[in-house]
């Protein structure tokens, strides 16, 4: 077996490993976010010190997730990096423009409810997923 046929196998294995690590870090971050939000109400009855520790843990795991994302992105080929960059850029733009408009609707009392950050996270996530889907359709 020559070295040219093993290179794609090495890249595929490294890509799979990076993707799994990113998935694990993301799941850990989501779990730590749930702990920070629901822990004070259901586990430790509003202890500010435990809540602060849970939030610090969430931030620390979030940093690990960001580093795993950077590693994942660096391991992708140029086309996949471009798809990711485009999807992230669209998600940022939509989140910024519509998020500010949504906040303005809330602060001016045009809408009868509070603008929640979770709504923005959902919007940006759906936009990102759509951007990945559209990019893959465009280039493949």
Average pLDDT over residues 131-140: 93
Give the model confidence (pLDDT) of 48-86 as tens digits.
999 999 999 999 999 999 999 999 999 999 999 999 999
What is d(CA 62, CA 101) in angstroms, rounded to the nearest whole number?
27
N-term to C-term CA, the chain? 29
Q: How confident is the model at residue 46 (pLDDT cuts 50, 70, 90)?
A: confident
What is d(CA 95, CA 132) in angstroms, rounded to the nearest whole number?
16
């Amino acid at each position: 077996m020559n070295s040219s046929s093993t290179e794609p196998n090495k890249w595929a294995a490294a890509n799979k490993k990076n993707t799994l690590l990113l998935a694990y870090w993301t799941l850990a971050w989501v779990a730590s976010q749930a702990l920070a939000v629901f822990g004070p109400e259901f586990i430790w009855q509003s202890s500010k010190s435990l809540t602060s520790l849970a939030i610090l843990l969430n931030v620390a795991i979030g940093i690990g997730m960001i580093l795993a994302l950077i590693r994942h992105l660096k391991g992708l080929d140029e086309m996949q990096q471009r798809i990711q960059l485009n999807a992230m850029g669209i998600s940022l733009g939509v989140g910024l423009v519509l998020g500010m408009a949504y906040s303005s609707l809330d602060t001016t009392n045009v809408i009868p409810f509070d603008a929640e950050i979770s709504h923005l996270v959902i919007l940006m996530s759906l936009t990102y997923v759509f951007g990945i889907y559209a990019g893959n359709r465009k280039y493949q």
